[in-house]
Amino acid sequence: MWRLLVPRCCVVCGNTLQEGEEVVCLRCNMDLPRTGYHLKPDNPVERALWAKMPLVRASSYVYYRRGGSYASVLHLLKYKGRKDIALSLGKQAAAELMPSGFFEGVDVIVPVPLHPRKQRSRGYNQSEWLARGLSAVTGIPVDGKSVTRDKDTDTQTHKSVMERQDNVAGIFSLHAPEAFKGKHVLIVDDVFTTGATVTACADALDGVEGVQVSVLTLAVAGS
Ligand SMILES: [Zn+2]
Q: How far is the CA of 29 from the centre of ligand 1 (A)?
A: 7
Q: What is the pLDDT of residues 63-120, one digit of tens each?
A: 998 888 888 899 999 999 999 999 999 999 999 999 999 999 999 999 999 999 999 9
Beta-carbon neighbours within 5 Å of ion ligand 1: 10, 12-13, 25, 28
In this structure, the answer to whether residues 18 and 50 fall within a common structural domain is: no
In this structure, the answer to whether residues 26 and 61 fall within a common structural domain is: no
Domain with residue 148: its CATH number is: 3.40.50
In this structure, the answer to whether residues 79 and 131 fall within a common structural domain is: yes
The predicted pLDDT at position 160 comes to 62
Q: What is the pLDDT of residues 27-36, one digit of tens each?
A: 999 999 999 9
**How far is it between the farthest Cα atoms of the chain?**
54
Supply the range of the domain harboring residue 178: 33-221
Q: What is the radius of gyration, based on Cα positions, of the chain?
A: 17
In this structure, the answer to whether residues 3 and 91 fall within a common structural domain is: no
Q: How far is the CA of 88 from the centre of ligand 1 (A)?
A: 14
Instruction: Tally the domains of the chain.
Output: 2
Residue 215 identity (one-letter amino acid): V
Q: How far is the CA of 103 from the centre of ligand 1 (A)?
A: 29
Q: Is residue 181 within 8 Å of 210, Cβ to Cβ?
A: yes
Q: How far is the CA of 109 from the centre of ligand 1 (A)?
A: 30
Q: Is the pLDDT of residue 158 over 80?
A: no
> CA-to-CA distance for 146 and 141, rounded, in angstroms?
13
In this structure, the answer to whether residues 111 and 136 fall within a common structural domain is: yes
Under the banding of pLDDT at 50, 70 and 90, the label for residue 192 is very high
In this structure, the answer to whether residues 84 and 171 fall within a common structural domain is: yes
Show the beta-strand stretches assigned E in the chain.
58-64, 108-111, 147-149, 172-174, 184-192, 212-221
Q: How far is the CA of 93 from the centre of ligand 1 (A)?
A: 17
In this structure, the answer to whether residues 27 and 37 fall within a common structural domain is: no
Q: How far is the CA of 10 from the centre of ligand 1 (A)?
A: 5
In this structure, the answer to whether residues 175 and 158 fall within a common structural domain is: yes
Q: Is residue 214 within 8 Å of 138, Cβ to Cβ?
A: no
The arithmetic mean of pLDDT across residues 22-41, rounded, is 94
Cβ neighbourhood burial of 100 (10 Å; 0-12, 13-18, 19+): middle
In this structure, the answer to whether residues 126 and 37 fall within a common structural domain is: yes
